[in-house]
Structure 1
Amino acid sequence: MNIFSFPSILAKDQVAHDRNAQQSLIQNLHCVTTDYYQYAMELLKEYKFFQLCTEQQQQMIAHHLKIQHYPAGHYIYTANQNCQNIAIILKGIIRTAWTSPEGKHHIYKFLPAGLLTNIVPTVTGQCFGHDHISHEPTVLASIPANIFLDILEKNTKVLYVIFQLICNRTHLHYSDSYYQATQPLAVRLARELIYLVDFFSFQLDSDIKIKIKLSQENLADLLNSSRKNINKELSLLAQQGIVKVRYHQIHILDLKRLRALISETDMNDHSIKTGTQC
Structure 2
Amino acid sequence: MESSQNRYRMQLETTPWFRGLSVELRDYLVSHASLVTLERGEVLYRRGEQSSGLYAVLGGALAIGTVGVDGKEALLAVLGPTAWVGEISLFDGLPRPNNATAVSRTLLLHVPEAALKDLLDTTPRYWRDFALLMAQRLRLSFDNAEAMTLLPAAQRVANRLLSIAGGYGGLNAAQSRIRLSQDSLASMVSLSRQTTNQLLKNLESQRIVSLKSGEITILDFDRLRAASLGDLDT
Instruction: Answer yes or no: same fold by TM over 0.5.
Output: yes
Cα deviation digits, residues 202-246 of structure 1 (max 9, x gap): 6xxxxx533x1413x222101011122212322322232322333
Cα deviation digits, residues 76-111 of structure 1 (max 9, x gap): 111111111111111111111222212233322111
Look up the equivalent residue of 2:188 and give its one-letter code. L
Report the Cα distance in structure 2 between the residues aligned to 1:240 and 1:186, rounded to whole angstroms. Answer: 14
Look up the equivalent residue of 1:173 and give its one-letter code. S
Look up the equivalent residue of 1:94 and give its one-letter code. L
TM-score (norm 1): 0.70
- Matching residue within 61, 70, 83 for 1:115: 83
Report the Cα distance in structure 2 between the residues aligned to 1:178 and 1:213, rounded to whole angstroms. Answer: 22
Look up the equivalent residue of 2:67 and give its one-letter code. T
Cα deviation digits, residues 176-211 of structure 1 (max 9, x gap): 111111111111111111233234776xxxxx533x
| Contact 1:201–1:209 (Cα < 8 Å) also in 2 | no
Report the Cα distance in structure 1 between the residues aligned to 2:96 and 2:213, rounded to whole angstroms. Answer: 33
| Contact 2:155–2:229 (Cα < 8 Å) also in 1 | no
- Matching residue within 214, 235, 260 for 2:181: 214
- Matching residue within 169, 191, 204 for 2:159: 191
SS in 2 for 1:49: coil
SS in 2 for 1:251: strand
Match in the other structure for 1:242 = 208
- Matching residue within 20, 25, 35 for 1:48: 20
Q: Tell me which protein shows more helix as a share of its residues.
A: 1
- The reply to whether residue 224 of structure 1 matches residue 190 of structure 2 is yes
Moved more, 150-159 or 127-136: 150-159
The structure with the largest alpha-carbon Rg is 1
Match in the other structure for 1:88 = 56
SS in 2 for 1:72: coil
Match in the other structure for 1:163 = 131
Moved more, 37-46 or 148-157: 37-46
Q: Which stretches in structure 2 are left out of the alignment for 5+ residues?
A: 168-172
| 1:116 to 1:50, Cα distance in 2 relative to 1, 3 A | farther
| Contact 1:68–1:139 (Cα < 8 Å) also in 2 | yes
- Matching residue within 217, 220, 230 for 1:254: 220
RCO greater where, 1 or 2, for CA within 8 Å and sep 6 or more?
A: 2
| 1:165 to 1:51, Cα distance in 2 relative to 1, 3 A | same
SS in 2 for 1:108: strand
Report the Cα distance in structure 2 between the residues aligned to 1:100 and 1:124, rounded to whole angstroms. Answer: 23
Shift of 1:149: 2.3
- The reply to whether residue 149 of structure 1 matches residue 117 of structure 2 is yes
Deviation beyond 6 Å, 4+ runs, structure 1: none
Match in the other structure for 1:73 = 41
Match in the other structure for 1:23 = none
Match in the other structure for 2:143 = 175
SS in 1 for 2:101: strand
Q: Which stretches in structure 1 are left out of the alignment for 5+ residues?
A: 1-32, 203-207, 266-278
* Number of residue pairs the alignment of both structures matches: 222
Report the Cα distance in structure 2 between the residues aligned to 1:103 and 1:132, rounded to whole angstroms. Answer: 16
| Contact 1:37–1:141 (Cα < 8 Å) also in 2 | no
TM-score (norm 2): 0.82
SS in 1 for 2:166: helix
Report the Cα distance in structure 2 between the residues aligned to 1:99 and 1:143, rounded to whole angstroms. Answer: 26
Look up the equivalent residue of 1:92 and give its one-letter code. G
Shift of 1:127: 1.2
Report the Cα distance in structure 2 between the residues aligned to 1:111 and 1:124, rounded to whole angstroms. Answer: 22
| 1:62 to 1:248, Cα distance in 2 relative to 1, 3 A | closer
Percent identical residues:
19
Match in the other structure for 2:170 = none
- The reply to whether residue 106 of structure 1 matches residue 74 of structure 2 is yes
Shift of 1:165: 2.6
| Contact 1:123–1:149 (Cα < 8 Å) also in 2 | no
